Structure formats: structure tokens, C-alpha cells
Amino acid sequence: MIILGIETSCDETAAAVVANGRDILSSTISSSLTYHKKYGGIIPEIASRKQLEFIHVVVEDALRTAGKKLSCIDGIAVTSRPGLIGSLLVGTCFAQGLAYGQQIPLVEVDHIKAHIYANFLKFKNASQKKLMPQLPAIGLIVSGGHSSIFLIKDLQNIMLMGQTRDDAAGEAYDKVARILGLGYPGGPVIDRLAQQGQNTEIRFPCAELPESYDFSFSGVKTAVYYFVNQYKGQKKLPVKKIAYSFQKSVVDILVKKAIHACCDKKIRTLVVGGGVAANSTLRQQLICASQDHNINVFFPDMSLCMDNAAMIAGLGFHAFHQQKPKRRNRL
């Protein structure tokens, strides 16, 4: 079964073709990131305007790269939630028009659940054999807009266990980078600087929220802000040490709660997704902690951590396979 996926939840315009819910035949992404950098964050109107401009080209490129015509497509899967409302409208309206015009069934997919599913995908021509996660599993999704823990009984039964009460982890990275004058996006540059700033003298508190799987990253961001303000007009700001200590606080709490969820539910599989899943320190610490607790941890390919349409097509396949819709269903 060949599924065309379309993803426009934030600033990316993405399309992909996936076979049988697993093999990625193509994955095309056009990002408007360069237009947002000077503003220090995503500007929704710019994102949706660029998506209107590029969505047709991106879908055509995904089909051409996969070597498929629209007549070969068995279903279309599109992101319907959550995300920027204008961006979501661009993708869903385009997908609905394409599905109606070509008489192709359509399903709407949850973007966050699709990040979980990214762990089940592989590129068709990949040289190495990829192991698939065994369900049930615990899912940790960490991105610019979401930080959540899920209990995954199966792909049709994904239950939210905890989520951020304020800033998401990726959002905190971007705000701290702005405080430090590091530009946007903040995640990659803070991760890089943190490797060179190991220290024991600077500490930033991160909310524990005991007896809960929820997160809170607003406090650690504010702690960095007040620390930086103390240095104004004084000696040189220790940016690398700040980056290290901030990242350590964020990563420690993410690892602690994810491993605790696995142990609490007696589940030995942990799947990680979202843009922050590309963070090198998070990956290293989750791997070490998982080994200590006899847990199998899975990360998507680096290119699948960021927003992409392959994960939308992959999860959409299971909606078609399970429900066999005539026109449109939701997963």
C-alpha cells in the first residue's frame, strides 16, 4: 500500500511517499527557517505564505523521487493537529482537494503521535537492517512545542501520561539562546557549546513536579535569565558553562521521567521522537540510563527527528489498514 504523506504543522512544507507503513520511498522537505531567523522565532504568517508557495512543488518532487504517479497512490495522509492554524489549513486544504480530485481516500493524522511512529520507519535502500520497537512502549516526545510522555499499548491506543505545563524543552532552548545572544534556533548551538563548558559551579534548578509525569521548563529558563543579568557590566559571560548547566538540568529531568515511566509501567521499550531527540547529550544519557535499567531505547534517524511527512504517511497507513476508510477518518 503506497501512502502520500503531507506535513505543514509549523514552518516546514513536507511530502513523502511510504510503502506499507515502513519503507520510505521519498521524503521532501522545504523549510522557511531562514525567513524566521531574524525575528528569533517562527512567524506564523510567513510560515503559511511560504507553504502556499511551495506545497505543490514539494508534493510533485516527493512523487517524482519515489518514481510514483498519483494514480499509484492508495491513500493520502495529512497532519491535521496540533500546529499553527494557518499552516495546518494549507496542508489539509491541499490534501482534501487532491484527494477529492483524484478520488483517493484521505486520513488525518496527529502530528505528535506521528513523531512516535518515526521510530518504525526505514529508508528503502538503507544498508543496515533496522530493528523495530516492540510494543507496548513508553514514548518520549521532545520538540519546540511539545514535551510529552505517552503509554503506547499499540498504534491505535496511545495514552498521554504527562506533558509540559508551560514551556516545551525545545522552546526553552530557543529562549535561552536568545538570552545568550546565540541566535535562532537555539538547540544545536547550545548542544555544541555545552560539550565545551563542563563545570560544577553553575547550577540552574529545573522543576521536579514529583508524583507526576509532567514537565516544567519555564523556571530553568528564568534562572538563566537572572544569572545572565548579574553579569551585565561585569566580567565576561561564561556562555559555554551556562549552556552546559542549562542543558544538564533539562536533559536530567527528561531522562529521569522517561526511565521512571518505563519502570513504573514495567515496560522495557522506550521510543524517543521530536526535534530535541537529535540532541547528542539526551541521546547519550538515555542510552546509558536504559542500559542500567535493561530497557531498549529507540531513536529515529536524524533526518526523521525534525518535522517530516514520512512519519505522517507511515502512521496514516495503519489508519487505512485498520479502518479501510472510503473517504476520511482520523487517527
What architecture (CATH level 2) is domain 2-121+305-330? 2-Layer Sandwich (3.30)
Q: What is the pLDDT of residue 127?
A: 63
**What are the cell numbers at 120?**
518504525
pTM: 0.93
Q: What is the pLDDT of residue 322?
A: 76
Q: What is the pLDDT of residue 331?
A: 54
Judging by beta carbons within 10 Å of its beta carbon (0-12, 13-18, 19+), is residue 320 exposed, middle or buried? Answer: buried
Q: What is the pLDDT of residue 326?
A: 47
**What are the cell numbers at 150?**
505517552
| Alpha carbon distances (Å) from 9 to 49, 80, 111 | 13, 8, 8
> Alpha helix (H) ranges present in 2-43?
33-36
Q: How many residues does the chain have?
A: 331
Same topology between domain 2-121+305-330 and domain 137-299: yes
Q: What is the pLDDT of residue 309?
A: 98
Estimate to the nearest angstrom the gap between the alpha carbon of 182 and the chain centroid.
Answer: 22
Find where cell 502556499 sits: 52
Q: Rounded CA gap, 250 and 172, in Å?
A: 9
Contact 19, 124 (CB under 8 A): yes
* Helical packing angle, 85-102 and 44-66, nearest 10°: 30
DSSP assigned state of 54: H
Give DSSP secondary structure letters for 178-208: HHTT--SS-HHHHHHHHTT---SS-------
**What is the identity of the amino acid at 109?**
V
Identify the CA nearest to 6 among candidates 328, 307, 321, 325.
307
DSSP assigned state of 5: E
Q: Rounded CA gap, 220 and 66, in Å?
A: 44
Every domain of the chain and the residues it spans: 2-121+305-330, 137-299
Pairing mode of beta strands 328-330, 106-110: parallel
Q: Which fold has domain 137-299?
A: Nucleotidyltransferase; domain 5 (3.30.420)
Give DSSP secondary structure letters for 259-284: HHHHHHHT--EEEEESGGGG-HHHHH
Q: Rounded CA gap, 105 and 53, in Å?
A: 25
Please state whether the peptide bond connecting residue 133 to the residue before it is cis, i.e. omega within 30 degrees of 0.
no
pLDDT in single tens digits along all 331 residues of the chain: 999 999 999 999 999 999 999 999 999 999 999 999 889 899 999 999 999 999 999 999 999 999 999 999 999 999 999 999 999 999 999 999 999 999 999 999 999 999 999 999 999 877 667 789 999 999 999 999 999 999 999 998 999 999 999 999 999 999 999 999 999 999 999 999 999 999 999 999 999 999 999 999 999 999 999 999 988 767 789 999 999 999 999 999 999 999 999 999 999 999 999 999 999 999 999 999 999 999 999 999 999 999 999 999 999 999 998 765 444 444 5
Find where cell 499552516 sits: 87
Strands, sheet with 137-142, edge to edge from the N-terminal-most edge strand: 157-163, 147-154, 137-142, 269-273, 296-298
